[in-house]
Structure 1
């Protein structure tokens, strides 16, 4: 995957950077480099005040080469073509084939930059960039590099083109579990920018990406299928699988979410929800009247007749 677009590399087919954006990026880089150089020069002047003039001259030359020449080379090498100015302007240095630059590319650009930017105040670099069809300066021509625009607005995003109809459904048995995300990103970027690339460069990149995909899946493409069509068919198969998984997950998430919500309502507070019990209707029975106690009747005592003083005859 070295030399091909990966997750830490660049996007394929981006438009070459033009002179205004490149000039602004170079200006930002020069301001930062010169500030660092002046601070280092003052520090070295104070530190080497006790040395002779030859030693101070050697230290000045060393600091010039270290900061003004070695600094940009180291930054471009470690950042894969993105200096501070290019990062601020959304630019990046890539190889002619779209891959990330290495130390030899940054070394050639830095060495030529001293002559065409610093010694001529950027006049030579501006003329070369205006003459070149892709806005390259002499350092880019000798190093085989190109400064491209890395930022693309969402409105200009291009969808992945569909594969040929006769390839749809031919990769259903392909094992895609071992394909890393970096390779998917590289293939997607190639397919969306293939028409903007040089035909020879695009064909070489498609074959290289197809070989990497075959090495990951272990299945060669069908006989007679071009590399770009093979890549488009495999990407379409992966998108179809992702769609099916998303639909299945959404279908199973509905009942599971309802059950989880009901379980969660019971778990809140540690007590199950209270339900109001409906009263059970009881049969209505007429209570028997209480027993009535007999009303006491007044007791009448028989009284002997009153004595009249007359005794009946015997």
Structure 2
């Protein structure tokens, strides 16, 4: 399943990346413009010193060189050396990448920088703003010319509280009675990606994607989900039960292997400690201190529950 913001490479692989929002891009640009203005002012002092000892042609050449170095060389060099990031982008957690998701090349960074001189210095950013507003991925003219895209490289803190595959206590009896053999790995992966991105999506998008997923999950679940259960809750219960059964199966295999090693007199290696399931989501999730997530909205009008 792909969602808005996914990119698809030439090999038909969906890349789970999110285009940067206009506010993040504008803030990053403001920081970079402030840096470039500071560099221009400092180098301008050098031009004034040169003007005391050189003729006007030399001074004009040095001034042009300084302008190009600051407003073209700075963004092009930074994005090339840092794989798509300038100081402003680092601060706002954004990055420039190729449209296929690969790292930005020097020629692409140079094209963006040259187009930026026209867009921001000559026309005060109006072409970039209009193009970004009418482009689905927020690309400005420089991105269109260079074949690039600015993405959100650092996930907002709110995304760290996205629900993962946890078992709702009221669905434990139902989940333990499920027949899960028809749930494919691809479908389970789609469900997990939906849960991971739950809080990044707008409420209406959450609902639309959730009920779309349930039209795939629902017919494969026996017995069917309890009436009125939200799609994100049902998917979380299914994935948590699927993970539990897989853990039981692997534990049984490990136990049989250890018994076999003991019978033939070989050393049984100690199992490494399992990593915390929610380590990346902070101590509140590990301790179970967070309240249950607030879910949004009824199913779409006129649609049968879970596609049944």
TM-score in terms of structure 1 length: 0.49
Structure number with the bigger relative contact order (C-alpha 8 A, sep ≥ 6) is: 1
Higher-Rg structure is: 1
